[in-house]
Structure 1
Amino acid sequence: TVYVLLPGPPRELKPMFGNELLPLLQEQAGGMVTLSRVLKVAGIGEPAAEAKVKDLLHSTNPTVAPTVKRGEVHFRITAKAKGSQAALALIEPVEKEMRQRLEPYVFGIDDELLEEIVGKLLRQQGLTIGVAESCTGGLLAHRLTNIPGSSEYFQLGTVVYHNRWKEELLGVPGELLARHGAVSREVAEAMAKGIRQKAGTSIGIGITGIAGPGGGTEEKPVGLVYLGMDFKGKVEVWREQWVGSRQDIKWSSTQWALMKLFQQLKQ
């Protein structure tokens, strides 16, 4: 058994690992290389995702291991072979098969983020976006603008908590709010249309819901969220019932919005 002690600071650890430890490990492995590819999916739960690739989870080289992340399921495909190219050749057919089975939920690999992939697609297609948020409090805009170069596609974000601003900024009719309430399919649709018109963008997204822990009713419980999307004039609205803390519900709602946008962009 060999024990290796390495320094903690990354600027010391990385060169020491790359220059000293990695060659030693490769030498002891007899030229064998272990290579992994992480396939990332969202918009589908772990049991349903695993069911689609159940037989592949029993493979030995490469192995396929699922892990649950926040709002995502990751499948790590790991192969061992003599050299990186040989390991990659083992991974590629399994990855291809998994992509086919898990379509349209696969959004990225390895270190790629969902908001990063969405931004790349928006840029490639020359599209712009504006978002109107209520229960998520600007978190969707935050995630979209965390990506370098997001000014190429992100135009406007508003947090319209009070109904007054839903009316004044987005043009949501007061009678609509009075009849259906702020947390409703109708208001989510009006918010999406309103922000797209206000920003003059290709896409408008509206999110309204009850993040909790208070404010819920029997008819509209905590965790109820409506997502509206105006995609170049085509408007769709989805309903979801989340569970968890206030922070969980806000994050899940933005993950959901990004995945719906990703799927629209891939069509």
Structure 2
Amino acid sequence: MERVRLNNGIEMPLVGLGTFKLRGYDIVYQALDAALAHGYRSFDTASVYQNEADIGKALKDLLPKHGLSRQDLFITSKLAPKDHGREGEAGCLRSLEALDCEYLDLYLIHWPGKQGHKSEDSQNPAWRQESWETMERLYGSGSFRAIGVSNYTVGHLQELLARCHVKPAVLQVEYHPHLVQEELLAFCLANGIHLQAYSSLGTGYLITEPKVEALATKYSKTPAQVLLRWALQQGIGVIPKSSNPERIAQNFQLFDFSLGKEDMEVLNGMHSDTRYCWDPRHVV
């Protein structure tokens, strides 16, 4: 499996299993079992997904089955927006407890604003800063091997870089051919921040795009594989989500083909500034 070396020296798999909307122990167990069997070693969750405890229990049950140990995995979780600020430490510790882990490989601020407050609330920057300082302390203690952010804009990143003692290792954002965030990717590359994409399939809209389907036929791959490969060839990590064992397997089979330059340009040319998830640009 291909990995990326983060700015603090640790390595993270470029492909992980996203777990958004995977709820219930049986569903989580089935998805993780299939993922481990097909080579996944990276798993992405969040406090707001309400599945951390099930993931922690499933991994404890599954590691012996697959002959693996905790050290073979890369586990990511995220601070809930409601826990920004003074509740940050409690939120971080709840994730560690729910996942039943002594440490997490990566912990992210999930959203730049605080839940229950308006996006234009002038206190958002202070809450973000307090959350980051808490995460820096937990990073220093070894509870987190790396820390980063999710759904940050260039402006949010500039603000963080001006104040932080530990540079964010990862930025996780929505990124796909309908939302080619060139400025954000260039900023991350220039500042040594790894960009990881979520919603690589545009929440499903992109897999039926005629141009994507045509490339899938050309390369004898699924539309999802074409979209995920497009991101990987730009050095962008991906965390496709599925509970279907066959799709989980397919979404990991990305390293036996490459898209030609002209086909990469076809996908780049599909940009329409369309977001299928959340828009953080309005968060002060």
- TM-score normalized with structure 2 length: 0.26
Please tell me whether Structure 1 or Structure 2 has the larger radius of gyration of its CA atoms.
Answer: 1
Structure with more contact order per residue of length (Cα contacts < 8 Å, sep ≥ 6): 2
